[in-house]
Structure 1
Amino acid sequence: MIFEPIESQRSTMIDSRLIEMSYKEAKIPRVIFLGAGESGKSTMFKQLRLIYDTGFDKSMRSTYKIVVHSTIMKIAKTLVVQCEKLALLGDKMDDPGLKRCMIEGKKARVAAERVRNLWELDSWFSPQLVRDIDDILQDPGAQNAMERYWMRFHPPLPDNTKYFASRIGKIAEETYIPSDQDILRARVRSVCIEDRILQYGDVRFQFIDVGGQRGERRKWIHCFSNVTTVLYVLSLSAYSERLIEDRRVNRMTEAVALFSEISAMSTFRSTSIIVFLNKYDIFEKRIKTIPFSSLFEDFDEDGEDPCCCAEYLKFVISEQSSKARRRKGVACRQIYYHLTTAVDTNLMRKIFESCSRVIVSRSIEDAGLMFAEEPQPCGSC
Structure 2
Amino acid sequence: MGTKSSKKKREKKNNKKIEKSLEESKKKKSKELRLLLLGTGDSGKSTFVKQFQILYKDGFSKNKIQSYKVVIRCVLKNSLKQLIEANKTLETELKKKNVKLAENYLKKFVPRDSSVSTKQQKIIQTLWSDPAIKNVWRLRDNFQIPDNSDYFLDNVERIFDTTYSPNNIDILNCRIPTTGIQEIGFKVGERIWVVVDVGGQRNERRKWIHHFEGVDSLIFVIGINEFAKKLYEDNTINRMHETLMLWESTLTNQYFKKTPIILMFNKVDLFKESLTRSNLSDCFPEFTGENNFEEASKYIKKQFIKKKHKKKRKIYHHFTCGTDTQLIEKLFADVMKTIIENHIKDYFV
Structure 1 length normalisation: TM-score? 0.81
Contact 2:34/2:216 (8 A) holds in 1: yes
Please, which moves more after superposition, 62-71 or 159-168? 159-168
Question: CA 1:373/1:143 → structure 2, altered by over 3 Å: closer, same or farther?
Answer: closer
Q: Give the CA deviation at 1:23.
A: 11
1:136-155 to 2 correspondences below 5 Å: 136-147=127-138, 149-153=139-143
Contact 1:31/1:205 (8 A) holds in 2: yes
Q: Which residue of 2 aligns with 1:40?
A: 44
Q: Which residue of 1 aligns with 2:88?
A: 84
Contact 1:232/1:273 (8 A) holds in 2: yes
Contact 2:338/2:345 (8 A) holds in 1: no
- Extract unaligned runs of 5+ from structure 1: 1-21, 88-100, 326-330, 364-371
Task: Tell me the distance in 1 between the aligned counterparts of 2:40 and 2:125.
Answer: 33
Tell me the SS of whatever aligns to 1:321: coil
Q: Does the alignment pair 1:122 with 2:113?
A: yes
Q: Give the CA deviation at 1:308.
A: 2.0
Residues 321-344 of structure 1 show CA distances to partners (whole Å, capped at 9, x for unaligned) of: 32xx6xxxxx85121110011000
Q: Give the CA deviation at 1:228.
A: 0.5
Question: CA 1:293/1:62 → structure 2, altered by over 3 Å: closer, same or farther?
Answer: same
Q: Which residue of 1 aligns with 2:181?
A: 193
Contact 2:314/2:348 (8 A) holds in 1: no
Task: Tell me the distance in 1 between the aligned counterparts of 2:132 and 2:288.
Answer: 36
Q: Does the alignment pair 1:182 with 2:179?
A: no
Q: Give the CA deviation at 1:375.
A: 4.5
Residues 50-106 of structure 1 show CA distances to partners (whole Å, capped at 9, x for unaligned) of: 11112112111100001100101111111111111210xxxxxxxxxxxxx222241
1:7-18 to 2 correspondences below 5 Å: none
Q: Which residue of 2 aligns with 1:93?
A: none
Q: How many residues align?
A: 323
Question: CA 1:33/1:24 → structure 2, altered by over 3 Å: closer, same or farther?
Answer: farther
Task: Tell me the distance in 2 between the aligned counterparts of 1:353 and 1:25.
Answer: 21
Q: Give the CA deviation at 1:127.
A: 1.3
Question: CA 1:81/1:247 → structure 2, altered by over 3 Å: closer, same or farther?
Answer: same
Q: Which residue of 2 aligns with 1:300?
A: 288
Tell me the SS of whatever aligns to 2:277: coil
Q: Pick from 212, 218, 236: which aligns with 2:200?
A: 212
Question: CA 1:66/1:24 → structure 2, altered by over 3 Å: closer, same or farther?
Answer: farther
Question: CA 1:24/1:166 → structure 2, altered by over 3 Å: closer, same or farther?
Answer: farther
Q: Does the alignment pair 1:317 with 2:321?
A: no
Question: CA 1:164/1:274 → structure 2, altered by over 3 Å: closer, same or farther?
Answer: same
- Extract unaligned runs of 5+ from structure 2: 1-24
Amino acid at match of 2:34: R
Amino acid at match of 2:70: I
Task: Tell me the distance in 1 between the aligned counterparts of 2:347 and 2:299.
Answer: 22
Q: Which residue of 1 aligns with 2:75?
A: 71
Q: Give the CA deviation at 1:282.
A: 0.7
Q: Which residue of 1 aligns with 2:327?
A: 347
Tell me the SS of whatever aligns to 1:288: helix
Q: Which residue of 2 aligns with 1:134?
A: 125
RMSD, aligned CA:
1.9
Q: Give the CA deviation at 1:373.
A: 3.9
Question: CA 1:164/1:41 → structure 2, altered by over 3 Å: closer, same or farther?
Answer: same
Tell me the SS of whatever aligns to 2:60: coil
Contact 2:223/2:266 (8 A) holds in 1: yes
Amino acid at match of 1:80: I
Q: Which residue of 2 aligns with 1:4?
A: none
Amino acid at match of 1:314: K
Task: Tell me the distance in 2 between the aligned counterparts of 1:181 and 1:80.
Answer: 26
Q: Does the alignment pair 1:280 with 2:268?
A: yes
Question: CA 1:333/1:23 → structure 2, altered by over 3 Å: closer, same or farther?
Answer: farther
Q: Pick from 206, 225, 229: which aligns with 1:237?
A: 225
Q: Which residue of 2 aligns with 1:51?
A: 55
Contact 1:34/1:230 (8 A) holds in 2: yes
Task: Tell me the distance in 1 between the aligned counterparts of 2:256 and 2:316.
Answer: 15
Task: Tell me the distance in 1 between the aligned counterparts of 2:105 and 2:299.
Answer: 43
Q: Give the CA deviation at 1:261.
A: 0.7
Amino acid at match of 1:374: D
Q: Give the CA deviation at 1:168.
A: 0.6
Q: Does the alignment pair 1:250 with 2:241?
A: no
Amino acid at match of 2:51: Q
Q: Which has the larger radius of gyration?
A: 2
Amino acid at match of 1:55: G
User: Percent identity over the alignment?
Assistant: 30
Q: Does the alignment pair 1:222 with 2:210?
A: yes
Q: Give the CA deviation at 1:24.
A: 11
